[in-house]
Amino acid sequence: MKIDILKKQQLSPRVQKQISELFKQLGGDKTQVALSDVIDGNNQITLAYCEAHNEIIGMALMCHYNVISGKKAWIEDVVVNAAYRGQGIGRKLMTKLIASAKEKNISQILLFTEDHRASAIHLYSDLGFRVKASRIYTLKLE
């Protein structure tokens, strides 16, 4: 099993297809954008992935940005293939992103998870994330 950061030059059709299939396991009404637009030099994204048996079985993305209040990061699209859950892969992916954030001198990592994702909430809490006393709002621009 390998945990690493995806580089743009690794975006083969095979890798893109595997990530697309993994993304579908997030469920809901999420729409995937082209991976080449995500892993782009102008887009400050770190995509950690887990590969086993020449197949991508888990991923977690972190965008990072600078604002007046500091260097921040936001974690999105954390998913492990259903057949591999419960093996600590999500923890390894998150640990990889946290290490990357430290290397980038990021002062705060934010994330959002839904209330019914009990195992994700347990993992995030165990890694030191705390619930913020604020609300998250969304405005879909289509």
Q: What are the 10-residue block averages of pLDDT along the chain, 142 residues in total?
A: 93 93 85 83 90 96 95 96 95 98 96 89 95 86 81
pTM of the model: 0.91
Cβ partners under 8 Å of residue 97, min gap 6: 46, 48, 60, 62, 73, 75, 109
Model pLDDT, residue 133: 84
E-strand ranges in 10-138 read: 45-52, 55-67, 70-80, 108-111
Cβ partners under 8 Å of residue 54, min gap 6: none
Model pLDDT, residue 128: 96
In angstroms, rounded to a whole number, what is the distance separating the alpha carbons of residues 76 and 69?
21
The pLDDT tens digits of the residues spanning 46-66 come to 999 999 999 999 999 999 999
